[in-house]
């Protein structure tokens, strides 16, 4: 289902990006070189987040929505990935950012359950994304798969919402249950 122009301009769950900016970000992962990343990191004064926001904005400005969609399609068939990333990172990025786009637009986007669980397993130990800090002292338990992680105060919920929360998105809190939800809420608010 194609999006309308106003939907492309809508805010995403990524506070610095519109839906179209998220699309532009997803197209960069297979097109970057070490040299380009180094140059952009220097321009961003070492801030990875600032670098990502700037690169997505530049791509969104440079290409039409149709071109960005074509690039995303091409990226799906590429074996290239962001310098320094693991083979799982592009899939995880796509699964999370699909929710960043769909939820604010009140659209349903579902990834295969085993893929979401694999992404959750990948993100939970990712220091770069801040997950270990967010979930310290919590026992996360999936309500739709056998997945669980950690020990301490329990938090239960669907894998896709656990994935959003451990990757720093408060929107995932809405379906979580358990005494540890308040701790997650406070940690996400403080970030």
Each residue's pLDDT tens digit, 103-150: 999 999 989 999 999 999 999 998 888 999 999 999 999 999 999 999
**Residue recorded with tokens 């791509």:** 59
Residue 132 has a pLDDT of 96
Residue 162 host element (H or E): helix 159-166
Nearest to 20 by CA among 1, 37, 36, 6: 6
What is the rounded distance in angstroms from the CA atom of residue 67 to the CA atom of residue 183?
42
What does the block give as tokens for 179? Answer: 């005494």
Each residue's pLDDT tens digit, 166-186: 999 999 999 999 999 999 999
Residue 1 has a pLDDT of 62
What is the four-CA torsion angle of 82, 87, 91, 93, rounded to 10 degrees? Answer: -40
Residue 177 has a pLDDT of 97
Q: Among 14-18, 62-66, 73-77, 146-150, where is mean pLDDT lowest?
A: 73-77
Predicted TM-score of the model (pTM): 0.89
Confidence of residue 84 (pLDDT cuts 50, 70, 90): confident
- Mean pLDDT for the stretch of residues 76-88: 78
Each residue's pLDDT tens digit, 148-162: 999 999 999 999 999
Residue 40 has a pLDDT of 82
> Is the CA virtual torsion 29, 100, 133, 131 positive or negative?
negative
H helices present in 15-88, as ranges: 19-28, 34-43, 48-62, 65-76
Each residue's pLDDT tens digit, 8-45: 999 999 988 999 999 999 998 777 777 888 888 888 88
- Mean pLDDT for the stretch of residues 84-88: 81
């Amino acid at each position: 289902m194609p999006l309308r122009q106003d939907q492309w301009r809508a805010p995403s769950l990524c506070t610095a990006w519109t839906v179209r900016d998220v699309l532009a970000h997803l197209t960069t992962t297979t097109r970057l070189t070490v040299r380009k990343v180094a140059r952009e990191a220097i321009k961003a004064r070492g801030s990875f987040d600032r670098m990502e926001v700037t690169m997505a904005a530049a791509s969104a400005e440079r290409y039409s929505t149709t071109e960005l969609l074509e690039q995303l399609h091409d990226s799906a068939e590429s074996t290239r990935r962001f310098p320094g990333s693991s083979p799982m990172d592009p899939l995880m990025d796509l699964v999370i950012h699909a929710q960043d786009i769909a939820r604010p637009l009140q659209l349903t986007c579902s990834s295969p359950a085993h893929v979401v669980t694999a992404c959750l397993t990948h993100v939970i130990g990712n220091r770069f994304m801040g997950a270990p800090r967010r979930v310290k002292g919590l026992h996360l338990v999936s309500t739709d798969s056998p997945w669980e992680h950690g020990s301490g105060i329990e938090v239960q919920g669907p894998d896709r919402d656990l994935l959003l929360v451990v990757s720093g998105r408060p929107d995932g809190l809405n379906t979580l249950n358990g005494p540890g939800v308040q701790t997650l809420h406070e940690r996400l608010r403080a970030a």
